[in-house]
Amino acid sequence: MPAPDDRRLWQEARALRRAGLDVSVICPATPEHPAAFEILDGVEIHRHPSRARAHRGSLLEYACALFHQTRLLFKIQRRRGVDVIQACNPSDLIVLAALPLLALGARFIFDQRDLCPELYEAKFGRRGPFYWLLRALERLTYACADHVVTANDAFRDIALSRGAKAPERVVSVYSYPDAAFPRGRAPQPGRKTLVLGYIGVIGDQDGVDNLVRAVSHLVDVRRFRDFHAVIVGDGPALPSVRALAKALDVEDFITFTGFLGGEALAAHLAAFDIGVIPDPPNPSNDKMSMNKVFEYCALGIPVVAFPLTETRRLLGDAGVYARGAAPRHLAEAALVLMRDAGLRERRAECARLRAATAFDWSREARKYVAVYGQCLRLPEPAFDDRRREEALIPDA
């Protein structure tokens, strides 16, 4: 996902920039962001060509990305120099692009957002040679990393055990939304139907097909039709889930918006009554801190999800959880919320409370920027001395 659409990446880049560092981002281009180079909020963005949708997630895509990442890294090195390289996975191939500059003295930070071996196992339902290749790449990335930033504490435990990293070199930084993310719902006067909302990437492993099948269960089995599902996002599986909705004859009950940004995104999110996390139970998702958890709580809406360990830990009473792993179980959990306005409000209040008290990006940003201070061996007050008045990291 390109900058600035990758929320975690962009919040990290802005935190570093406002702490006084020069920041360059390398990412793929998209139809929404085709420019090969631009500067936003003081951050340089270098975009490389991306493969057609049919090749997304393929070895060809990763090989092409690796070539362009290496090319652009050397371009930045020649022009302004590189002190620290941060690799945001997936994929774990990025370390290969970084190796030449690491040999020249650059530092390396591994921002581990996914467990790539577990993702492979979840997607293909097996291990095998490619699984062990991914494990080897993960080990190489850990070995090269001066510091590891993980998306949650479960990933941190894996970096300590599987990666054999020292505890002082691994920190968890959760992807809480910053103050720019839309907050709260907007009143929808005169609207009689409830909106089930999804925001996120639409990949094979993201379970959007589960949501489509859940809609079919609600409509055809439970005969419940006073709702509409809105799916906000794009990804390689979008054509297949559109086709599934057509095959199940529920097109009239689902809107696929595609990628949205700015005011259009805010307007659609403000109309959500219930947030859906359809990611299926598997070893990867069970450890994942879904961005959707934090975003739905920021919106102040109740959430329906499968009973994933990390999701339940983060959501607590803000969620209603499916009693099984099938789409019909997700549908039944959603139906409980849709039929009980009082329960929706109680769960929504829990979501608002979690967003206000627990999901604080400014705290995470301070931890994240401190990693760069350690990596660059700067004295502790250095960033405070260089910080600008509009700093993203308040002195609270």
Residue 161 CA neighbour count, 13 Å, CB half = 6
Prediction pTM value: 0.90
Q: Which of 386, 384, 371, 366 is nearest to 176 (CA)?
A: 366
Residues 76-81 have a mean pLDDT of: 96
To the nearest whole number, what is the mean pLDDT of the chain? 92
Intrachain domains 7-176+360-386 and 194-357 with the same fold: yes
Residues 55-84 have a mean pLDDT of: 89
Question: Of 38-52, 104-118, 241-255, where does mean pLDDT reach its minimum?
Answer: 38-52
Instruction: List the structure tokens of 317.
Output: 């009473």
Residue with tokens 């022009």: 79
3-class SS at 163?
coil
Tell whether the model's pLDDT for residue 22 goes beyond 50: yes
Residue with tokens 């990933």: 155
pLDDT score, position 101: 98
Residue 372 CA neighbour count, 13 Å, CB half = 23
Q: Are 18 and 388 in contact (CB under 8 A)?
A: yes
As a CATH number, domain 194-357 is 3.40.50.2000
pLDDT score, position 395: 40
Architecture of the 7-176+360-386 domain: 3-Layer(aba) Sandwich (3.40)
Q: In the chain, which residue ranges form alpha helices assigned H by DSSP?
A: 7-18, 59-79, 94-103, 116-124, 129-144, 153-161, 208-216, 238-247, 262-270, 283-287, 291-299, 309-315, 327-338, 341-357, 361-375, 382-386
Q: Where in the chain are the domains?
A: 7-176+360-386, 194-357
Instruction: List the structure tokens of 47.
Output: 């975009």
Going by pLDDT thresholds of 50, 70 and 90, the confidence category of residue 60 is confident
Q: What distance in Å separates the CA atoms of residue 295 and residue 301, rounded to the nearest whole number?
A: 9
Q: What is the DSSP string of 265-309?
A: HHHHHHT-SEEEE-PPPSHHHHH---HHHHHHHHHT--EEE---H
Q: Which of 309, 372, 383, 315 is nearest to 149 (CA)?
A: 372
For residue 379, count CB atoms less than 10 angstroms from its CB and return exposed for 0-12, middle for 13-18, buried for 19 or more.
exposed
Residues 312-322 have a mean pLDDT of: 98
Q: What distance in Å separates the CA atoms of residue 2 and residue 6, rounded to the nearest whole number?
A: 6
Taking the mean position of all CA atoms in its chain, how far away is CA 230? 19
pLDDT score, position 53: 53
pLDDT tens string 224-278: 999 999 999 999 899 999 999 999 999 999 999 999 988 899 999 999 999 999 9
Going by pLDDT thresholds of 50, 70 and 90, the confidence category of residue 51 is low
To 5 degrees, how large is the angle CA 383–CA 109–CA 293? Answer: 90
What sign has the CA pseudo-torsion 54, 56, 59, 61? positive
Residues 53-61 have a mean pLDDT of: 63
For residue 154, count CB atoms less than 10 angstroms from its CB and return exposed for 0-12, middle for 13-18, buried for 19 or more.
middle
